[in-house]
Chain A
Amino acid sequence: MSASGSASGSALVERALVVAAQIAPGAGAVALVREVSEAVVRWANSTLTTNGHTIERRLSVVMLVPLDGGTGAGVVTVPAPTSLAAGREGDAVLREAVAGAVQAARRGGPARDAAPLPEPSNGASGDDPAWHEGAGETSMAAFGRLAGELGASFRPDEASYGFAEHRVTTSWLGTSAGVRRRWVEPGGSVELNLKDPVTGTSVWGGEGAVDLRTVDVAALVERLRGRLPWGRRQIDLPAGRYETLLPPSAVSDLMIYLAWSMGGRPAQEGRSAFSRAGGTRVGEQLGALPLTLAGDPAAPGFPDLAYTPVLATTYSGDEVSVFDNGATTGRVEWVRDGTVNALAYPRAAAAEYGAPFAAPTDNLVLTGGEDARLEEMVASTGRGLLLTCLWYIREVDPTTLLLTGLTRDGVYLVEGGEIVGEVNNFRFNESPLDLLRRATEAGATERTLPREWKDWFTRAAMPPLRIPDYHMTSVSPGR
């Protein structure tokens, strides 16, 4: 990662706020500039397919306009080319964006989530020392190590597929309440899928990293190659309930969906799996294991999962509000010691329901298990299934959070503590709430890459879970 020649977004934010004050003097205003520099490479059938290096920059203006009976909110996002930062043409675009947001706010009427913009808090004031710095940048050089190790790994007796990306997102957030924050978030991932053309066996693994040069691709390849022989014995099993070991990636995809479903207002209004007669499920003990599902900007124990504790959003919804832009966010324990502990509330909804303000977290860590690693849990299994990851997860019943999906890239039969062969894939119907109720063992928490939701959520650390009766509803011939 390096600083680019791009103009600082701070100047654009300041100009937008000045224009906002001119057009709507009594209104609250938020200006957010985001620049994304991204490098990607993809391969299939052991050859390069697509790639790219892109730079994208946008300005969002949120106008919070006093109206009869409350405050309305309007949002306009425009491209932010270099020309927007200076000159008469740039000013015209800014004025149009602000005016559009003001008009939308007026037309929309008083907002239910209205609240005064957060005041600057420690570290969130105009004193941000990096406020005037330029954008971070990545380049194809991010793949220097990967390209060498990957190219060397291609073999004629197996097919290699995968994707690697590195992205640097720079954000500048300013508000009429005085918040000025700039933060840079680098991140990337490598995913690898190997297939044995003889057995048809397919294996997958992936790693997330701030710097791709820290990813040992050669070791990842070797780790996956170690699983290919498991496919030499193919075992057909019917649908049914099986003792199942969910590896951290599979657990992450289920817990991410759970967290996405923890809106406070839907629960209070009776339209969520976290509703119950007369209230919400906060305080309900889910299972016997003392598991804690938390998001924490500081990410104790997992420094690569840390994120900037400031809220920046261009949309309001049940969980977030544009009125909360600039708020300092903190640790939220969604589930604590096996009990539903918190739901997501914007500040206005939190006040309405007498609950604490809790913004959706940008990482999720599930803790509370034992020290056992997945391999040790396999060794202590009499008969059960070991999964690799889950795919195509979709909600079937929102009242119970029943999800459906499929196993993918390796289901293995464990007998007597040993993997004895590869099993067909299954479709499952399960609720992550029920899985937390029924889990009988959790292992050691480790950083993992969600297979299904990686495009939207990458910062996760999960333990493997043992489910005594995972519900496989049908067999999938897909591999």
Chain B
Amino acid sequence: MESRDTPAVDPAVDPDFLALPRAALADAALDAARRGGAEHADLRVHRLRTQHLELRDGRVVVAADQDSAGLAVRVLRDGVWGFAAHVDLTPEAAAATARRALDVSSTLAALATERVTLAAEPVHADATWISPYDLDPWAVDVADKIGLLTARSTALLAAPGVDHVAASCVQVKEQVFYADTAGTSTTQQRVRVDPDITITTVDRAGGGFETLRTLAPPTGRGWEYLTGTGWDWDTELAELPELLAEKVRAPGVEPGPTDLVIDPTNLWLVIHESIGHATEYDRAIGYEAAYAGTSFATPDKLGSLRYGSDALTVTGDRTVPHGLASVGYDDDGVAAQEFDLVRDGVLVGYQVDRSFAPRLGLERSNGCAYADSAEHVPLQRMANVSLRPDPDTDRSTAALIDGVSDGIYVVGDRSWSIDMQRYNFQFTGQRFHRIRHGRLVGQVRDVAYQATTTDFWGSLEAVGDRSTWRLGGAFNCGKAQPGQVAPVSHGCPSALLRGVNVLNTGSGS
């Protein structure tokens, strides 16, 4: 469904963000922190612009712009963190916030039985990074945006069997200025969009209903994504009503072990939950134990854990174009990188930030620090964690399907859930096409698949080639207390997995 890709023009950081007194704020905060005895301090000016458009049955329900901004100061004194933030973007507020962060550090220092050290990082002075996009969503008249969503809603409502249409698009521009006591100072601007259209058919007589959602993933692009760059909307929207009608007519799935060909539009979420989170080092050593959970992939298994079959090679990166977690520099001031997590089925790495890298014996962080706002402290957050396509064999999705005599082709994500150690998961999807003797023979419904992570990836027989590889992702990966959300993408090819346990959610079996 991915379509033409136009070369990106070089956007610039917005003048109103550049006009903020960034250097003065940094000087004030970092000087106050140094005077207070901090061995490390950083200032972050974080601005998040969000526009949320939502239509129901062609009428606007939400047209809302939200602009949030503030400054955050983090200090490390005697190996104990302190963090504070304030809405006022003045040097006086920056200095006061730094002093408050020092107070926070000392107030609870007695509870700190371990001391934090940071991995070294080269200084990146006066660096600027901007994500690649063609059309700044804030440069497009909101009337044009609503007009596009209205036209698509109207066309779908006119299709047989479509009773309701929900159309939305969330657009985000994130601007971050970071400066630390080592001399790094970076200014970044990222743009991302999350469009979504869901159609619903209602059985008034029987009392049931069914839905189908577009597969277009959120992406690190501008408004051009809505008009055809990176996604073929016309084709997908034209097919949607008939696919929904077929879904309604479909028989319930026969439960039991089933061969699955999983499309990237579904598989990205399995990667996110069962590999992305499981290879976060902070989770693996217990830092999220009381909330998001831990990981079965503990550091003692590094280099030996058989995560999956030989076909499983997974990387973390913050560099892939249009990746939602792609940056130039993370919120520790570390330059973006790419690194291995699982190689030929074996666990070989973790995602870390500067505080966790030394614990793992790494000299340098691989750049996974992120805070979702000025009000929140940077944490180790997920890179774009992606499954490598088969580099050696030309293998299309059709070829993978051809290798299945009786199975299901799973398309699109829907429900997901996984336990606190990332073992046991259950996923559903948007569509489930039955495979018989290598051919698709219509949809089945009420499908969920359950597995244990290593069993699931152990059943990975083959992955598709580069032509099947797509970036999926989400805006709202949750972690930490207080809760933070992070945007993240996951690239993957289509994949064939044998004997995965399938449930019929309609019958409960």
Contact = CB atoms under 8 A, between A and B. Distances in A.
Contact of A398 (B60, B103, B104, B211): B211
A425 B296 CA distance: 14
A473 B450 contact: yes
B9 interface: no
A176 B286 CA distance: 52
Nearest to A72: B60
Nearest to B418: A392
A151 B111 contact: yes
A58 B208 CA distance: 42
Nearest 9 A-B pairs (CB), nearest first?
Answer: A478-B421, A108-B60, A478-B419, A476-B424, A277-B207, A52-B83, A161-B290, A270-B202, A193-B290
A391 B86 contact: no
A161 B286 contact: yes
B61 interface: yes
A12 B3 CA distance: 48
Given A143-B107, A277-B207, 15 more contacts: A45-B287, A47-B113, A50-B83, A77-B64, A77-B67, A79-B69, A147-B107, A271-B200, A276-B207, A277-B204, A277-B206, A316-B62, A392-B419, A427-B426, A427-B450
A41 B108 contact: yes
Interface of A: 36, 38, 40-58, 72-83, 100-101, 103-105, 107-113, 140, 143, 147, 150-151, 154, 159, 161-163, 165, 191-193, 195, 202, 204, 269-271, 275-278, 314-317, 391-399, 402, 404-406, 408, 425, 427, 429, 455, 471, 473-479
B390 interface: no
Nearest to A76: B65
B389 interface: no
A163 B88 contact: no
B67 A104 contact: no
B420 A406 contact: yes
Given A45-B286, A455-B483, A103 B142 contact: yes
Interface stretch (B256-264, B398-406, B500-508): B500-508
Nearest to A110: B59
A24 B98 CA distance: 42
B293 interface: yes
Given A163-B290, A404-B426, A111 B377 contact: no
Interface in B205-219: 205-211
A41 B113 CA distance: 15
B45 to A, nearest CB: 11
Given A162-B290, A395-B415, A473 B503 contact: yes
Contacts of A316: 61-62
Contacts of B206: 277
Nearest to A193: B290
A277 B417 contact: no
B204 A270 contact: yes
A269 B164 contact: yes
A474 B59 CA distance: 43
Contacts of B208: 399
B207 A77 contact: no
Interface string B76-96: 000011111111111000000
B476 interface: no
Interface string B36-78: 0000000000000000100010011111111111101000000
B279 to A, nearest CB: 16
A53 B73 CA distance: 10
Given A163-B291, A427-B426, A399 B420 contact: no
Contacts of A100: 65
Interface string B191-208: 000000000101111111
7 contacts: A44-B287, A45-B286, A55-B85, A193-B290, A271-B202, A278-B207, A396-B415
Contacts of B452: 477
B481 interface: yes
A325 to B, nearest CB: 13
B482 interface: yes
A48 B83 CA distance: 13
B272 to A, nearest CB: 13
B240 to A, nearest CB: 16
A317 B56 CA distance: 9
A48 B108 contact: yes
Given A82-B88, A277-B205, A396-B428, A143 B419 contact: no
A56 B70 contact: yes
Contacts of A406: 417, 419-420, 424
A62 to B, nearest CB: 9
B110 interface: yes
Given A38-B375, A478-B421, A52 B111 contact: no
Nearest to B287: A44
A478 B416 CA distance: 16
A81 B87 contact: yes
A46 B209 CA distance: 50
B448 interface: yes
B151 interface: no
B354 interface: no
A110 B59 CA distance: 8
Contacts of B62: 75, 315-317
Contact of A394 (B64, B85, B415): B415
Contacts of B291: 163, 191
B285 interface: yes
B112 interface: yes
Given A108-B60, A140-B107, A143-B107, A165 B482 contact: yes
Contacts of A429: 426, 448, 503, 505, 508
A46 B112 CA distance: 8
A76 B68 CA distance: 11
Nearest to A79: B69
Nearest to B92: A82
Contacts of A150: 111
B65 to A, nearest CB: 5
A379 B142 CA distance: 62
Nearest to B295: A478
Given A315-B62, A478-B293, A54 B111 contact: no
Contact of A52 (B104, B143, B420): B104
A379 B60 CA distance: 55
